[in-house]
Amino acid sequence: MVKYLVKRIVLAIVTIWAVATLTFFLMNAVPGGPFLSEKAISPQATAALEAKYGLDKPLIQQYFTYIGDALHGDFGDSLKQRGRTVADIIGMKFPVSAKVGGISVLVALIIGSLLGCIAAINRGKVMDSIVSVVSTLGIAVPSFVLCTFLLFIFGVKLKWLPTMGLSTPAHYIMPVIALAFYPTAYIMRLMRSSMLDVLGQDYMRTAKAKGLSGKAQLFKHALRNAILPVVTYVGPMLAYTITGSFVVEKIFVIPGLGGEFIGAIQGRDYTLIMGTTIFLAVLIIVMNVIVDIVYKIIDPRINLK
Amino acid sequence: MTKNPLSAHIRLNPEDFAPASDAQKASQVVMRESVSFWKDGFRRLMRNKVAVVSAIVIILIMIFAFIVPLFYPYKYEVQYKNANNLKPFTYSAEEQARIDAGEKVFPHVFGTDKMGRDYAIRVMVGTRISLLVGIVATAIILVIGSLYGSIAAFFGGWVDIIMMRIVDIIYTIPDILLIVLLSFALKAPLNNLAATPGFTWINKVGPNLISIFIVFALLYWVGMARMVRSQILTLKESEYVTAARALGVGRGKIIKKHLLTNCIGTLIVTTTLQIPSSIFTESFLSFLGMGVAVPLPSLGSLASDAINGIGTNPHLLFIPAIVICLVILSFNLLGDGLRDAFDPKLKD
């Protein structure tokens, strides 16, 4: 267990370092600098600004300075949004994204596993067919297609739901549906097949033979085993939600981290690019490690190696 | 000589020692004609109605994307005068005048976009671009992934360990962050390269498209590599390979006849399922404005362009969106069918 933990954590640190290094050199390979696009700025002023942020030094030196600062938890100031640190911007924008993403993840987990279970129990009946059609469709519809359809039907035609921003609970409905649809469909599929697998196991027959009620069989024996593959999917689902939020935030004009990231790249805001990339990478990787460890704790059959 | 009924003496004729004729030999064969891997898989595939329908849909979409534009009277990049934002099957004033003069004018089946370009041909070319991206990207993934995976599995030991650690790292890198960054970073070098003689084709394809391919080549092969490696590792240890070796079959024949043949099912399935996922990623990037270069359309960029006019011209959005869904859906269903047909072990 300890050996496994150490291995996972070392791998996670190496990955985060690789992401940071790749990002650093990639973004510096993009021509143009953060201060080039601004109007009415003399070359002297540009040079002064570059000197202030250390951009005049050799790239390698900049890299080591940045990594050193980052290790101390200092991600620097934003080059474009003067007077604000990268940590401030992330601290302001991330909660917005996290709220939408978190609700979507919860919705997907609950609805997905519920419908998957129902489909498996009613195998071959109408409910099963409905679930399999929905899950096949859900995997084939890209999030931006779904977003635009929702926007058109409920926002433009019926005018039931607000289309921009996040000020009231009603604003959350469409972004959450758009973000949760794909993971819900995927979890339904996963849950259905794992439930069918569990229902065919010997211990289920034993439970039935010793006279347990249907409810006890289902909740104490079947569900607890069938939910395991869904747990492993939580990590990838989180990554998907963050990715998907780029598009969803663009369409529904949500002031979240995704839009900030794209804007930072377009404006060559080096420190903000580095900050958001490292932040999101750490988030995804740490969640993946936690999910893996939790999975191995709740399922003793998995050997830790 | 009269025959004694009680005698145990056997009377033999010379004919009894003649070699058996072909007809006699054939009567001894109790087994059916051996069914080849392909024939068997294909027969199972044809029995799967959903997969057959998906295959037909894919063929129809390919005809729509590659062949129909050759005969189509409009061009995707040409802006027709005064034909902006036409509804389907309507004509611009000039075209109407030509019709009144007795000329035959081909209708704008899907109308035109806000720049006055015929939308039907744009959707066709967009479908072609999306399909090409999906197929080329998947081919890149297939080559890199299967080579990498089989090298790791073949050599084993520390080579395998190092190669697989690299895969682990790439696997955990949040891909979309790097895609977005890479497509920005690669834009300028590719533009420079396109300016030098001999590389002008890059401009035609669009530097963004090339950078999408590079991204796929860098990041997306890891799933394929893992798949192939584990497949070859299991196959290497399987009993029929041991048996073949015990019978003295040569190494080359084992690889060709046993390892490769048994891998191919997995490869076909993974490849078919990779195509929609590549199309998915391309349309996602195009939607965010990082896809193919203007005036070249792709399904994602068509949908993205149509969003602003969603209130007045929703069909401009719905047509490419539905085509994307149809393409992804049919490739997914065909992939599932192929898995059941060629690789029953993988079925969940």
In tens digits, what is the pLDDT along chain B, a chain of 348 residues? 566 777 777 777 888 888 888 887 777 776 666 677 778 778 888 888 888 999 999 999 999 888 888 887 777 777 776 667 777 777 777 777 777 777 777 777 777 777 777 888 888 888 888 888 888 888 888 888 888 888 888 777 788 888 888 887 777 666 666 777 777 777 777 777 777 776 777 666 667 777 777 877 777 888 888 888 888 888 888 888 888 889 888 877 877 777 777 788 778 878 888 888 888 888 877 777 776 666 778 888 888 887 777 777 778 888 888 888 888 889 888 888 888 887 655 544
3-state secondary structure of B112: strand
d(CA A286, CA A11): 11
Q: Which of A289, A291, A286 is nearest to A227 (CA)?
A: A291
Q: Which residue of A has its CA nearest to B313?
A: A152
Question: Would the CB atoms of A156 and B180 count as touching at under 8 Å?
Answer: no
CB contact under 8 A, A144 and B314: no
Q: Which residue of B has its CA nearest to A248?
A: B288
Task: Name B177's Cβ contacts closer than 8 Å, sequence gap at least 6.
Answer: A19, A23, A261, A277, A280, A281
Please indicate whether residue A107 or residue A163 has the higher confidence score (pLDDT). A107
With CA atoms as reference, the chain B residue closest to A237 would be: B174
Give the number of other CB atoms < 10 A from CB of residue A176. Answer: 21
Mean pLDDT (whole number) for A160-181? 80
**Mutate which of B61, B165, B167, B172 to disrupt the A interface (most A C-beta within 10 Å)?**
B172
In DSSP terms, B118 is beta-bridged to: B112
Among A18, A144, A193, select the one facing B303 at the smallest CB separation: A144
Tokens of B247: 């019978």
Do B174 and A239 lie within an 8 Å CB cutoff?
A: yes
Please give the Cα distance from A39 to A229 (Å, whole number).
55
Give the residue-averaged pLDDT of A174-196. 88
| Min Cα–Cα distance to chain B from A203, Å | 20
Cα(B141)–Cα(B284) distance, integer angstroms: 19
Q: What's the Cα-to-Cα distance from B345 to each of A37, B24, B47, B270, rounded to whole Å? A: 57, 40, 18, 14
Please name the member of B173, B181, B318 whose beta carbon is closest to the beta carbon of A265. Answer: B181
Q: Please tell me the distance from the alpha carbon of residue A243 to that of residue B46, in angstroms, as a whole number.
A: 38
Min Cα–Cα distance to chain A from B309, Å:
10
Q: What is the DSSP string of B41-109?
A: HHHHHHH-HHHHHHHHHHHHHHIIIIIHHHH-SS-SSPPPTT-TTPPTT---HHHHHHHHTT------T
Q: Write the DSSP string, B217-286.
A: HHHTTHHHHHHHHHHHHHHHHSHHHHHHHHTT--HHHIIIIIIIHHHHHHHHHHHHHHHHHHHHHHHHHH
Set of chain A residues whose Cβ sits within 8 Å of the Cβ of B314: 152, 156
CA–CA dist A239, A285 (Å, integer)? 9
CB contact under 8 A, B177 and A151: no
| ipTM for the assembly | 0.72
- The answer to whether B134 touches B276, Cβ cutoff 8 Å, is yes
Q: Which of B161, B166, B184 to mutate to test the interface with A (most CBs of A within 10 A)?
A: B184
Cβ distance of A29 and B328 shorter than 8 Å: no
Q: Which residues of B touch A142 (CB under 8 A)?
A: 280, 283-284, 287, 324-325, 328
Count Cβ atoms within 10 A of the Cβ of residue A57 and give its class: 0-12 exposed, 13-18 middle, 19 or more buried. middle
Residues of B in contact with A278 (CB under 8 A): none
Grouping H, G, I as helix, E, B as strand and the rest as coil, residue B36 is coil
Peptide bond into A300 cis (omega under 30): no
Residues of chain B in contact with residue A288, where contact means CB-CB under 8 angstroms, are: 172
Give the C-alpha separation, B303 to B297, whole Å: 10
Distance CA A183, CA B331 (A): 19
pLDDT at B301: 82
> Measured between CB atoms, which of A11, A246, A288 is closest to B176?
A246
Nearest CB among A19, A144, A261 relative to B284 is that of A144
**Residue B60 confidence (pLDDT):** 93
- Please give the Cα distance from B342 to B41 (Å, whole number): 5
- Residue A178's nearest CA partner among A152, A208, A213, A201 is A152
Gyration radius (Cα) of chain B, Å: 30
- Tell if the CB–CB gap between A27 and B328 is shorter than 8 Å: no
B322 compared with A58, residue with greater pLDDT: B322
Looking at beta carbons, which residues of chain A come within 8 Å of B182?
A: 26
Interface of B with A (CB under 8 A): 165, 168-169, 172-178, 180-182, 184-185, 187-189, 276, 280, 283-284, 287-288, 300, 303-304, 307, 310-311, 314, 317-318, 321, 324-325, 328-329, 332-333, 348
- Crossing angle of the two packed helices B261-287 and B222-237, in degrees rounded to 10: 170
**DSSP secondary structure code for residue B288 in this structure:** T
Paired residues of A85 in beta bridges = A77
